[in-house]
Chain A
Amino acid sequence: MEIRLVQASRKLARKLLLTMATATLVSCGGGSSDSPNSSAATAGSGNSGTGSSSVFNDSLNPKGEFTDSDIRHFLSRTHFGIEPGKPEIVKAKGLSVYIDEMMAFAPVGSQPFETDANTLLMNDDDPIGLEGKFPSVSDVIDWNINLLMNNPNAFQEVMGMFWQDHFGVDFETFRGEEEHLMIDFVNLLRERGTGNFRDLLLDVSRHGAMLIFLDGADNSKFAPNENYAREFWELFALGVDNGYTETDVIEASRAYTGWRRHHNSATGLTEVVFDPESKAVGSKQPLGNSVGHDLSNDDYGIMVDLTMQHTDATGSDLVASFLSRKLLRHFHSESPSDDLINSFANVLRQNNLNVGPALKILFLSESFYSESAKAGLIRDFYEQVVGLVRTTGLTESNHQYRRYLSDMQSLPSRPPSVEGWPEGDDKISSQATGVSMPNFVNELITNRNNQEAEGYDIGAALQPAAATNATEVVDHLAKLLGVSLDETERQDLINYMNVEISNDGSETPVNYTPQNTDHQSRKLRNLLWILCQHPSFHLK
């Protein structure tokens, strides 16, 4: 009993300290913000400050100094990989400044890489003024993959994919004239990735892609289907059975009516429009409230706001805790502690659920760089594929990206279910991890002719500028790929680089010469394949 008391006291003290730490953070600038990019947080403003050192690893206290290892950890979680030169840029700017810049997204559609990607959506017979509005499913996937690979600000696409995972919409069954809605949906998530969660929740709920995918556009005012009502609370806002009942689902399903498809004969496109005639009449009673009868507007805004205000027994709103856990599991660790979830939920609340400022506090915190946070999260396969292309500069055709990502069930714009992609170790399979990913890497390293024709210099891309031997090359490439080798593994790879294997299996010793293009083609490319088999490559 005595031991239990001591443990209880420690836990209480820990909670108190965490609360104080959070309050301190808020008071020094984490307050509410109407603009997603206007964080006033002052935590951890540079790389060489003298911020306090927290007693607890999962404290959201600002971290004072960021080591090279910390910066690499930050990049591995917030980008698709650690691109050459990026750690140095972060170090030079200071982490806080870098975060501000990476969260300042340019307006969607305003950048050259987007213009290039948009060409993938176009067909020769598109009507003038409607270019790119009639893509195939494959076109949309290729477009999305290209955005991930080519956006100079990788974090924007990381957030876009986070929300694609959160608000899972698969447009495979959309009709041809509806597929343009998916482009707009992806762009909405890309544009608003660090924005206000309440606003995003509402705009996603009313979006044509979501209304079609979860049957809102087919809803009947007489006997509404429950699809959106259930998934909205379970997957998008509260968590399963968290503060709502089956009766609430039925009541909410009546509120989620009033939208229907409209075929625009002038454009040939289907839109989803609000139609008062399609809205269920009478009041609705979700979550212990009454939503009055008013056919002039839909009830989606009311439903979102009732959900945002919904509290637990202690009076805390439930949405912030739900979002806190989701963000922490994506960026911080697979099983964040309850204390950390609560602390970060408070940060989100204090920032009015503006995601960007809250994430900045997380990225500058002691906790984000703790041992538990640095234990590897499993990378999604699209992260591995995009990361490889972005970090190495090796490229393949759109068809091959799509083919292998399809094999791995990791296609952007095509989450496997409304729940998004698998989480944690559910991502791993003998097919995808063990076979499809190695085969993608093989595809990438054997696309020599096309890469060289486009002027790709693998020696310059994957080796140190003045490298003279295999040891330097192995160390450099392992670091580029985020692979941690022990000494035996490292030596085996150095030995591999210094021997050529003929097709009959016979060996010829060589001194790997980094400037020798034959050596690069034979050994350097296959070294990359081996490194991608290392477990640490699959983690971030």
Chain B
Amino acid sequence: MSHIKLSRRNLLQFGAASAGLAALGPLANIARAADNRKFVVLVNLDGGNDSLNTAVPLNIGAYHDRRPSLSIETPLELTSGSAANSEYGLHPNLTGLQALHSDGQLAMVQKVGYPDANRSHFTSKDVFHTGDTSGLDANDKTGWVARYAQLYNPHTLGCISVGYNAKALQGPGVNLLQMNRLSSFAYNTDGRYAGESERRLQIARTMLERHASVGNAQAVKQAIQAGHQNIDRIQQIVDSYVPNVEYTSSRFGQSLEGISQLIQGGGLGTDIYYTGMGGFDTHSGQGVTGGRHPNLMADLNSGIEAFATDMKALGKWQDCVIVVFSEFGRRNFENGSGGTDHGEGQTLLLTGGAVQGGIYGSDLVPSDIRDHSNLPMEVDFRHIFSEIITNHLGHDAAPVFPDPNQFTAASLGIV
């Protein structure tokens, strides 16, 4: 098999009617562009990250008391740089994030969540993906990233997910590109009859452009058209990619490298990239410095460290904000299976050249851990995303998060 390459003639013939290409302008823009577009990378830690073992409180004895076998005895210190503090440390596997902190570019926001937290993975994920706490079935809601794209960047490449199929990018009438790996986002052909392969694709494109559909058929049509419209330029980007750094072979490492490829490809007009990692539901065998959670920390660290190095080499780091979040934190105390159960509040991490490093939100105090099962919630995650949309991407965030059921707070000033 081989990947199909549409000719320029084909693209001009069939691209005119495609919303994605029409919105993005002529092919000349596909060339590697040195634009200074600001962008956001969302890293979704799926399953409920144990943020107490990610951003570790140093001076709270209750943390150790309630986690006799799971507390981290020697976290990485954060005592250097402009955002130096002696209250928190990082998981020992987060050395790259420690370096970013020393550069004043790692922010930690304490006690993040949303009102009336739900300890269900799926309800909480729905809230994080849609920004909506109403009781509606998530299938009937629009993701908040999709809402952002509809408002401010309405084309198939306006926001993109790589390696993580996110409800946040979905909704009625929304057609944002979601890919596993860039290299696999290509059509295979009938090698015996290459001419027939090209023609069959043309016929399918024409058929879909004319096809009147509603509901699920419309959603299917748009997803197929996203392939028709973008495969060729994605493969051009893959073909012209020159790596600056070596990413790990993990799914997360490869996803971040894919985002880097898209950024290097230039001219796509993408504001938000969405990716993530699974495996954070550590009810048992969580581990401290070795095991499930430490391995996940190492994967997270390697990916972000490589991506930061890459963006710095490309001169893109100042345009970048990375947000690391989960659907909830985990319990303050360990269970008898060497793990932690579903919690509520979490410490949310941000990094990037545009991030002002430091600790945001009210500090953890002993009673937060000693007297409660879960970290309290004081900062609404939508407040953080709103600040990024407003201060970094330059848009009014209110229509993106219209849900009135939110914690209110003054600006944090992270970006």
Residues of A within 8 A of B (CB): 214-215, 218-227, 230, 234-235, 240-241, 246, 334-335, 375-378, 407, 409, 417-419, 422-426, 428-436, 438-439, 442-443, 445-446, 448, 486, 488-489, 492-493, 496, 500-506, 521-523, 525-526, 529-530, 533-536, 538-539
B170 at the interface (CB under 8 A from A): yes
Contact flags B174-207 to A (C-beta < 8 A → 1, else 0): 0111111000111111111111111110011011
* Residues in A neighbouring B137, C-beta threshold 8 A: 335
Determine the distance from Cα of A269 to Cα of B89 in the docked complex, in whole angstroms.
Answer: 43
Determine the distance from Cα of A438 to Cα of B200 in the docked complex, in whole angstroms.
Answer: 11
* Residues in B neighbouring A227, C-beta threshold 8 A: 281, 283-284, 341
Q: Is the CB of B199 within 8 A of A433?
A: no
10 nearest A-B pairs in the assembled complex, by CB-CB distance = A220-B336, A434-B227, A223-B336, A430-B226, A501-B195, A433-B223, A533-B204, A535-B217, A218-B284, A227-B283
B248 at the interface (CB under 8 A from A): no
Q: Is the CB of A433 within 8 A of B341?
A: no
B211 at the interface (CB under 8 A from A): yes
- Of chain B, the residue at the smallest CB distance from A493 is B203
Determine the distance from Cα of A287 to Cα of B226 in the docked complex, in whole angstroms.
Answer: 49
Contact of B220 among A375, A378, A446 (CB under 8 A): A378
Contact of B219 among A428, A436, A501, A503 (CB under 8 A): A428
Q: Is the CB of A492 within 8 A of B228?
A: no
Q: Is the CB of A240 within 8 A of B220?
A: no
Contact of A525 among B177, B190, B191, B210 (CB under 8 A): B190
Q: Is the CB of B216 within 8 A of A376?
A: yes
Q: Is the CB of A442 within 8 A of B203?
A: no
* Residues in A neighbouring B313, C-beta threshold 8 A: none
Determine the distance from Cα of A409 to Cα of B163 in the docked complex, in whole angstroms.
Answer: 11
B231 at the interface (CB under 8 A from A): yes
B390 at the interface (CB under 8 A from A): no
Contact flags B268-293 to A (C-beta < 8 A → 1, else 0): 00000000000001011100000000
* Residues in A neighbouring B230, C-beta threshold 8 A: 430
Determine the distance from Cα of A442 to Cα of B200 in the docked complex, in whole angstroms.
Answer: 11
* Residues in B neighbouring A221, C-beta threshold 8 A: 336
B210-263 contacts to A, CB under 8 A, are: 210-211, 213, 215-221, 223-228, 230-231
Q: Is the CB of B339 within 8 A of A215?
A: yes
* Least distance between B345 CB and chain A CB atoms (Å): 15
* Residues in A neighbouring B211, C-beta threshold 8 A: 486, 489, 534-535
Q: Is the CB of A435 within 8 A of B231?
A: yes
* Least distance between A73 CB and chain B CB atoms (Å): 15
B312 at the interface (CB under 8 A from A): no
Determine the distance from Cα of A492 to Cα of B202 in the docked complex, in whole angstroms.
Answer: 11
Determine the distance from Cα of A435 to Cα of B194 in the docked complex, in whole angstroms.
Answer: 18
Contact of B165 among A409, A489, A492 (CB under 8 A): A409
Determine the distance from Cα of A538 to Cα of B185 in the docked complex, in whole angstroms.
Answer: 19
* Residues in B neighbouring A377, C-beta threshold 8 A: 216
Q: Is the CB of A434 within 8 A of B216?
A: no
Known contacts A226-B341, A503-B194, A530-B203; can you find 16 more A-B pairs with CB under 8 A?
A: A215-B283, A215-B337, A218-B285, A220-B335, A235-B122, A335-B137, A376-B216, A425-B216, A426-B139, A431-B185, A442-B1, A442-B188, A489-B211, A530-B207, A535-B208, A535-B224
Given contacts A241-B120, A429-B223, contact A442 B190 (CB under 8 A): yes
* Residues in A neighbouring B119, C-beta threshold 8 A: 230, 246
* Residues in B neighbouring A523, C-beta threshold 8 A: 196
Contact of B122 among A225, A246, A419 (CB under 8 A): A419
Given contacts A218-B337, A496-B199, contact A378 B216 (CB under 8 A): yes
Determine the distance from Cα of A316 to Cα of B321 in the docked complex, in whole angstroms.
Answer: 51
Given contacts A219-B337, A220-B336, A501-B196, contact A434 B223 (CB under 8 A): yes
B391 at the interface (CB under 8 A from A): no
Determine the distance from Cα of A535 to Cα of B121 in the docked complex, in whole angstroms.
Answer: 32
Contact of B184 among A222, A407, A521 (CB under 8 A): A407
Determine the distance from Cα of A307 to Cα of B124 in the docked complex, in whole angstroms.
Answer: 24
Determine the distance from Cα of A384 to Cα of B230 in the docked complex, in whole angstroms.
Answer: 24
Contact of B195 among A409, A502, A521 (CB under 8 A): A502
* Least distance between B283 CB and chain A CB atoms (Å): 4
* Residues in B neighbouring A424, C-beta threshold 8 A: 139, 216
Q: Is the CB of B284 within 8 A of A375?
A: no
* Least distance between A219 CB and chain B CB atoms (Å): 6
Q: Is the CB of A436 within 8 A of B190?
A: no
Q: Is the CB of A505 within 8 A of B178?
A: no
* Least distance between B275 CB and chain A CB atoms (Å): 13
* Least distance between B289 CB and chain A CB atoms (Å): 20
* Residues in B neighbouring A218, C-beta threshold 8 A: 283-285, 337-338
